[in-house]
């Protein structure tokens, strides 16, 4: 059994297909991999270069022999380690609306493994302030950054929109019906039921012209109106 590598997969995608599939350009994906490696280390991320070095005996770790034996054992039983690039790609595609069943077959991992990878990448790699720290107050205290964002909106609108330092909107992220009262802090599960007809979380976000997030608030329940959720945020109080 031989698992398809990230290099083999992505070389068949055009730049346009790559962007549509993962919602980012190749250069951005590579940069994101580098940032994650800086935070968690190569041994945790296991890039394809790192795994190839172990396989070829080029690694310099103190426990190289032990790690190499583990690598060979994985290759004999499961087709090898799932590289960090594949884990990140699988996660991004799930976030973009892909099916976990299709992705499991595409990258040759088990259905349950696909979700395990997704939750691990989100919790341990993405939700790390060292990777991306989003603070609306810091942004509003950075005059240079606000001028840059306003200039972006002005150029894109041919100077129709001037002085805009961000586009704000709210949307409902669909969730399963909350079941455990202790997780609701004494609240009613019905307060998560949105006007769209499903249970959810009300997410407020401010973005620049390129849809880069400048501020986000993910603490309100689906039944709350966007304006109410924003007025109850710390950022609104600061403003």
Q: Cα angle at 65 between 84 and 73, to 5 degrees?
A: 60
pLDDT tier at 197 (50, 70, 90 boundaries)?
very high
Nearest to 128 by CA among 3, 42, 225, 37: 37
Which of 125, 122, 136, 56 lies closest to 94, judged by CA?
A: 122
194, containing H or E segment:
none
User: What are the tens digits of pLDDT across the range 1-31?
Assistant: 567 788 888 888 999 999 999 999 999 999 9
> Torsion angle, CA of 181/185/187/191, rounded to 10 degrees?
-100
Q: How far apart are CA 84 and CA 12, in angstroms?
A: 19
pLDDT class of 118 with cuts at 50, 70, 90 = very high
Closest CA to 55 of 79, 31, 87: 79
With tokens 């249970």, the residue in question is 199
Q: Residue 223's closest CA among 182, 186, 164, 175?
A: 175
More confidently predicted of 113 and 239: 113
The number of CA neighbours under 13 Å toward the Cβ of 143 is 0
- Residue 51 is predicted with a pLDDT of 82
Cα gap 187→202, rounded to integer Å: 16
The CA distance from 122 to 109, in Å, is: 18
The HSE-up count of residue 55 (CA atoms within 13 Å, CB side) is 15
For 169, phi then psi, to 5°, come to -160, 165
Closest CA to 172 of 212, 215, 223: 223
75 has pLDDT over 80: no
Residue 219: the pLDDT is: 84
- Residue 149, both tokens: 């964002």
For the chain, give the mean pLDDT. 85
């Amino acid at each position: 059994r031989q698992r398809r590598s990230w290099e083999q997969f992505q070389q068949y995608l055009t730049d346009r297909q790559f962007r549509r599939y993962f919602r980012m350009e190749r250069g951005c994906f590579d940069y994101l991999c580098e940032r994650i490696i800086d935070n968690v280390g190569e041994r945790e991320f296991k890039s394809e270069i790192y795994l190839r070095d172990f396989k070829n005996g080029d690694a310099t770790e103190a426990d190289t022999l032990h790690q190499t034996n583990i690598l060979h054992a994985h290759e004999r039983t499961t087709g090898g380690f799932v590289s960090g690039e594949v884990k990140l790609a699988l996660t991004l595609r799930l976030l973009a609306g892909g099916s976990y069943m299709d992705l499991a077959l595409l990258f040759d991992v088990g259905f349950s493994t696909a979700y395990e990878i997704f939750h691990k990448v989100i919790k341990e790699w993405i939700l790390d302030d060292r990777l991306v720290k989003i603070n609306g107050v810091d942004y509003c205290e950075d005059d240079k950054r606000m001028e840059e964002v306003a200039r972006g909106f002005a150029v894109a609108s041919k100077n129709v929109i001037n002085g805009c330092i961000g586009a704000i909107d709210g949307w409902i992220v669909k969730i399963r019906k909350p079941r455990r009262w202790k997780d609701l802090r004494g609240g009613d599960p019905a307060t998560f039921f949105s006007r769209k007809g499903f249970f959810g979380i009300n997410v407020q976000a401010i973005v620049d012209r390129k849809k880069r997030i400048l501020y986000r608030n993910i603490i309100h329940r689906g039944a709350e109106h966007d304006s109410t959720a924003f007025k109850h945020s710390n950022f609104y109080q600061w403003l």
